[in-house]
Structure 1
Amino acid sequence: MQVTGSTGTAGRGVEMTRLGGRWRVTRPWPARLRPFVHSYAGYWEAAGAVPYRVRLVPTGRAVLVISLGEPFAQVRRLGESGPESQVTGSLVAGLEDGPRMCDHPGGQEAIRLELTPLGAYRLFAVPMRELTNRVVGLCDVFGAEGGMLAEQLAATSNWGARFDLLDIALAARIERGPRPAPEVCHAWRLLSHAGGAIPVSRIAAEVGWSQGYLTRKFTEQVGLTPKMSARVLRFHRAVRLLSRGGASLTEVTAACGFYDQAHLNREFRALAETTPGQVAAARVAEGALAL
C-alpha cells in the first residue's frame, strides 16, 4: 500500500509506503547530497509497539540513525566477547566486516541514512578506521549539534519539514568536512563498479601508489582495507541478487566472481554467519535480515 500526499504528516513530494506494521517515508534527496548518500528514509510503526530483532550484514556503507521515538534496546556485534554495546537514542555505525544483532522494544520512529564511505568521511569528519565495526552515539561524532538536530526533528511532525531540516544540516556538515584524496576516491570507484572483483594490485597501479600506501590511506578514509572492502562488496552484490529472487546459486557464484559455491558459502558464513539460502528466503532489505 502506498500513499503520497502534500498535507498532514507527509509533505510535498513525500511518499509513504506501508510495510507490514511499519511505514517507510521517502523523498528524493537534493542533488548536492547524491554523491554522498545512498539511501534516505524515515520509519514509524503503524500498529503499536511490536518488539523485533534483526541481524545487520555488511553492505560497504556507513549508517546514521536519528531516533525520534524509542531507541534500540541493544546493539551487539556477533562473536564479540566483550561487553555488549548499549547505544541509546541516535547512532552512527561505521563499515562492518561481520554481522551485528539489533533488538528494538517497539514504538520506533526514526530516520535512517546509508552513506557512501567517502560521504561518511566528509559528514562525520573523523578517520573512518576509528568507526570500523563500531556503533557510537550521534553526539559522540556530531557533538552538541547532533543532539540539537535530533530534538528539532522530533519536534517537527511534518515529514517534508523534517527532511528539509535534515538536508540543510547534512549539506552544511559535508561542505565543511574533510575531502578524501582523489586517489582514494578513484580506488573506491574502481572497487564499487567492479563489485569487488578487481585485484588490489591493479587498483594501486591505476592510482599510482604502492599497495602499502594505498592500504593505509584507503583504510583511514574508507574504514576497511581495499582487500576487505572487495570481499564486502562482492558479498553485498551476491545478497542483492539473491534477495531479488530468480537467480540460482550457480548464477550468483559466477556473476559475483566466487571460485565456486563452496567459496560463496564460506564468505556468507564469515561475513554474516548465515547461508545464501537463508538470505534468499528472508529477502534482505537495507542490510537487515529479520529474525
Structure 2
Amino acid sequence: MPVRTTGRVEEGFGWRMWERAPAPPLAGLSGPYQGYWERTPAPLSRAEVPHTGVTLILSFGDPLSSLPHPAASRPERFTSFVAGLFDAPVVTEHAGRQHGIEVPLTPAGAFAVLGVPPGEYGNRIVPLDDLPWPPDLLERLAEAPGWEERFALLDRALAARAAHGPRTSPEVARAVRLLTASGGRTPVAELARDTGWSRRHLTGRFREQTGMTPKAFARVVRFQRVLELLGSSPGTPLAEAAQRCGFYDQAHLNRDFRALAGCSPTAYLERHPPDGAFPFVQDLAGAAP
C-alpha cells in the first residue's frame, strides 16, 4: 500500500503529512494513518469539532495544550493520548512544533485495540500512559527509518492487539451502522426495537461501547453530514442544508452548530471557506466492526 505525501514548507515553517490505509486485518477498526510534521513561527490554536471516531495520537515529542471540554477549568498538556467522542468543540494549542502519527479509530476499533470501553473516556482526553499500551512501541515508531516502516510496524502492533481485544456487542454495532447510514435520522425507539433491547438498556450499552448516547451520536452524525454538504456544495442555502441533513429547520441547525462548533454556520463558513480547507474527520462509525 503506497504512502501518500502532501504538504508545504517554506523557510523552515509549514507542514507535511504522510498517509496510508491500514492493513486489511484492521478494516472497519481504523481509518487511514496520518503521519504529521508541523512547524509554525508562533503558537498555533485549533478548534476541533466533534466527530464519530476515537483519535489516537502517537507523539514523537512536543506536547499539545488542550481545553478538552467547556466544563474544564484550565488547559491540560498531553503528548501521546487518546481522545474519546466529544459533544462540544475542543481547543488545542501547540508552541510551534508537532511531529507524530494520528490513528483515527472507530469506537469498535478503539475498544478492540485499547482494551478499554470508550465510555470510560467519553468527553475526555486520556494520556496514553494511563492505558494498557506496549511501553516500547512509541520509541520504536520514532526510531523507524521511514514512514513505510513506521506504518508497517503500526499495522502489526494494532492487528495483534485487535485479534485478542474485546468486541463491541452485535446490537451496539448494528445501532451504530443504522444511525450512520440514516444520517442520524433513526429514532432511538426504532433502534431499541431493532435490537430487541429496552431503550434504557440500549442507551446504557451504547454509551459504554462508544462514549455517547445514541441521541448524542445521532446529533454528531447530522452535524458531520451538514459539514460535508457545505464543503462539497458551496452556496447551498442553510435552510436547504438543514432539510437535507435531517434537522427540523434552520433554527435547529443553528442551535446544533453553536453547541458543536462553538459558532453559527455563517461564522464557521467565514473561518473555513469551502475550498477544501474544512477540518474534515473521516466518518468511521459506520464501518463494520
Q: Which runs of 5+ in 1 are unaligned?
A: 1-11
| CA distance, structure 2, for counterparts of residue 106 and residue 142 of structure 1 | 30
Determine whether 1:103 maps to 2:96: no
| CA distance, structure 2, for counterparts of residue 39 and residue 68 of structure 1 | 19
> Could you tell me which residue of structure 2 aligns to residue 284 of structure 1?
278
User: How far did 1:70 drift?
Assistant: 1.8
> Could you tell me which residue of structure 2 aligns to residue 79 of structure 1?
70
Q: Is the 8 A contact 1:243 1:279 kept in 2?
A: no
User: How far did 1:117 drift?
Assistant: 1.2
| CA distance, structure 1, for counterparts of residue 36 and residue 41 of structure 2 | 13
**Given residue 21 of structure 2, which amino acid in structure 1 is its aligned partner?**
P
| CA distance, structure 1, for counterparts of residue 86 and residue 223 of structure 2 | 12
> Could you tell me which residue of structure 2 aligns to residue 264 of structure 1?
253
Equivalent residues in 2 for 1:55-204, closer than 5 Å: 55-72=47-64, 74-87=65-78, 89-143=79-133, 145=134, 147-204=135-192
Determine whether 1:224 maps to 2:242: no
User: How far did 1:49 drift?
Assistant: 5.6
Change (3 A) 1:159 1:81: closer
Q: Is the 8 A contact 2:69 2:123 kept in 1?
A: no
Q: TM-score, normalised by structure 1?
A: 0.88
1:48-100 Cα deviation digits (max 9, x unpaired): 6653110011101110010113221x11135224343222x211011101111
> Could you tell me which residue of structure 2 aligns to residue 235 of structure 1?
223
> Could you tell me which residue of structure 1 aligns to residue 17 of structure 2?
24
Task: Give the SS at the match of 1:160.
Answer: helix
| CA distance, structure 1, for counterparts of residue 171 and residue 120 of structure 2 | 21
Task: Give the SS at the match of 1:36.
Answer: coil
RMSD: 1.9
Change (3 A) 1:220 1:280: same
Q: Is the 8 A contact 1:239 1:279 kept in 2?
A: no
Q: TM-score, normalised by structure 2?
A: 0.88
Change (3 A) 1:26 1:272: same
**Given residue 250 of structure 1, which amino acid in structure 2 is its aligned partner?**
A
Task: Give the SS at the match of 1:142.
Answer: coil
**Given residue 117 of structure 2, which amino acid in structure 1 is its aligned partner?**
P
1:160-215 Cα deviation digits (max 9, x unpaired): 00001111111111111101111111111001111111101111111111101111
| CA distance, structure 1, for counterparts of residue 157 and residue 32 of structure 2 | 16
Change (3 A) 1:208 1:132: same
Change (3 A) 1:172 1:90: same
Q: Could you tell me the percent identity over the aligned residues? A: 40
| CA distance, structure 2, for counterparts of residue 245 and residue 43 of structure 1 | 28
Change (3 A) 1:29 1:287: closer
Consecutive aligned runs of 4 or more in structure 1 exceeding 4 Å deviation: 47-50
